[in-house]
Amino acid sequence: MFNLSRFRKKSPWILHYNAGSCNGCDIEILACLSPRYDLERFGVINTGNPKQSDIFLVTGPVTMRSRERIVELYMQIPEPKVVVAVGSCACTGGVFRGMYNVEDGIDRYIPVDVYIPGCASSPELIMDGVVKGLEILESKTKEIEKPKQLYKDEVVTDGIVDRSHMAQKVKK
């Protein structure tokens, strides 16, 4: 078969997840889809479903509640996938760095490909970041990408890979 990977950048589908943010970056992401900035001309659709998305847009510092969900959603996205951390909270923790209630940035839990700074980011920055993510997407393979914490390995029975129990809950 001819190389299909050049079509990956022609239709990137986004999963947008709010991991405890103040909604500022979320509003900016939604503004990207509005007529003025119009991400849809690149073929971008905001699906709400991890199984049908390529790009995982995460905003917000990771709160105690959302760390398991981030890993679970990350495992449900089929490879090749790209994680884009939007806003300074998602990159490094932002103004909340070092607080008791948040983890510092999402790259403690899942590997991040593109960091977009700003508080809140602007739509132009977000689009630049997404386009950069698309270039990285084109070179990714279909191996299972594992998160950094709260996971265990996939189970293989009779040659069938089962990744349904890879994400773990936090042990109390």
Determine, following the binding rule CB under 8 A, whether residue 130 of this chain makes contact with another protein.
no
Dihedral of the alpha carbons of 121, 134, 11, 70, in degrees to the nearest 10: -60
Determine, following the binding rule CB under 8 A, whether residue 171 of this chain makes contact with another protein.
no
**Judged by CB under 8 A, which of 4, 98, 139, 172 binds another protein?**
4
Half-sphere exposure of 165 (CA within 13 A, CB side): 2
Determine, following the binding rule CB under 8 A, whether residue 148 of this chain makes contact with another protein.
no
Determine, following the binding rule CB under 8 A, whether residue 169 of this chain makes contact with another protein.
yes
**Judged by CB under 8 A, which of 72, 97, 122, 132 binds another protein?**
72
Closest CA to 75 of 169, 165, 158, 140: 165
| Number of residues forming the site for another protein (CB under 8 A) | 43
Residues 84, 62: Cα–Cα separation, whole Å:
14
Determine, following the binding rule CB under 8 A, whether residue 70 of this chain makes contact with another protein.
yes
**From 46-54, 55-63, 106-114, 121-129, span contacting another protein (CB under 8 A):** 46-54
Q: What is the per-residue binding string for another protein in 99-128, x denoting contact by CB under 8 A?
A: ------------------------------
Q: Are 89 and 96 in contact (CB under 8 A)?
A: yes
Determine, following the binding rule CB under 8 A, whether residue 97 of this chain makes contact with another protein.
no
What is the nearest approach in angstroms of another protein to the Cβ of residue 95?
25
Of 40 and 124, nearer to another protein (C-beta) is 40
Q: Long-range pairs for 146-151 at CB < 8 Å and ≥24 separation?
A: 147/71, 147/74, 147/75, 147/109, 147/110, 147/111, 148/107, 148/108, 148/109, 148/110, 148/111, 149/67, 149/71, 149/108, 149/109, 150/67, 150/68, 150/71, 150/109, 151/71, 151/75
Q: Which residues bind to another protein, rule: CB under 8 A?
A: 4-5, 7-8, 10-11, 35, 38, 40-43, 47-52, 54, 68-70, 72-73, 75-76, 78-80, 142, 144, 154, 157-165, 167, 169
